[in-house]
Structure 1
Amino acid sequence: MDSSKLIEPLTGEKPTQIMVDSLETRRFTFDSASENMFPPTRLKMAMGALFMMPGIPVMQYGSEIAMNGEAKPDTHQLFNFKTDEELINYIKNVQTLRNKSAALRKGDFEVITNENGLVVFTRTSDEEKWVIMVNNTGETQRVDLTTEQLGKGIMLNGILHQEKVRFNEKDVYPVILDREMVEVFQVRNDEGFNIPYIVTLGLVWLLFIGFVVFIIRRGKVRRQ
């Protein structure tokens, strides 16, 4: 699945609007189904990328419920309010994330990787930095980001899938993402492991194990 053209409209003068379908086109769902792909998964990936790119994202009526159709009037059916809300909630999440971040709306845009369906780019402002990874392939992908690209003493905090990436023994930040997914990483200072939390969690487990041992021994005494 080639994504080489995904960035082409963004390399020159930035567009004012970006979209995956319009009033005059086939539905994105139709194209996905024609390629024997699962439309909700493809739409989540497309919308995740769309809301992180420069420009104003435009979502056509019905895309949030994976509306299908090749031409009008099939492309503008009555809205089905009984549809699964997983895609709707996903779009709400990425839209909320964009609304809360000035860098994701109007920050600097830089492409790190764009080849064979794998796209990695950054959105940066004076206050914050984000790394967005779009895996438009059929396999899990890994990208090793360097200190020259991100800096030292930082960590990547995944927002959509809760992954955390730290500097490893090979002096890189190994970013791994499953197929047909988008992850948005917030670049933060690496404050290390939460030692008080780890100690508290350890004490809880010790108390639990001690309680179980006490109950077992008490049962043995009663049977004797």
Structure 2
Amino acid sequence: MPHALVPFATGFLLSASLIIAIGAQNLFVLRQGLRREHVGAIVLFCGSADAALICAGVAGLGAVLAAVPELTALLALAGAGFLGWYGVQALRRMARAEAMVVGAADPVTLPRALLATAGFTLLNPHVYLDTVLLMGAAGSAQAAAVRPVFVAGAATASFVWFAALGYGARLLRPLFARPVAWRVLDACVGIVMLALAATLLVHAYGAWHTPT
């Protein structure tokens, strides 16, 4: 049994190092955690999506994506449009003082929350770079017998992180009882989303003009 801990820990640590970073998906989970809206469903979706993408990467999907840059370009364009729209919405929220307290804004329905979560998760080519290509390559390098253990470790890290982010956000609620904290958060969200959208546009341009 101890020999299985090595691939499990390898998958866990590699996955954790890739997902614990400021990004569109993490900021969205944090914001929903602060509002206490559909946190369990969002955490489950994010963790399950990561697990599925890691499995696909280990199974060989990464090689297919690497061979079709046009698909990556289309994902980047769709992601840029989605993140640009959400970034503008965040900056508009920042300018509305009446929405700057927890619970003051209109509640988000579960279908809308999951749709937004899917957008942040699946319309970002960097998600595929991390979970499918990098994790897939690392998992494929493991012996065939322990690859499921590697995947289990990586998936566990994803679930642990998103659960900690979503449910741990409530510890910050006293801070976000002040309107200025929401202004700062939405300003950060808007800037990060627009910057990521610009990055994806550059990524799409590069993918379309990559020699085949």
Alignment TM-score, normalising by the size of structure 2: 0.27
Greater Cα radius of gyration, structure 1 or 2:
1
RCO higher in structure (CA 8 A, sep ≥6): 2
In terms of fraction of residues, the more strand-rich structure is 1
In terms of fraction of residues, the more helix-rich structure is 2
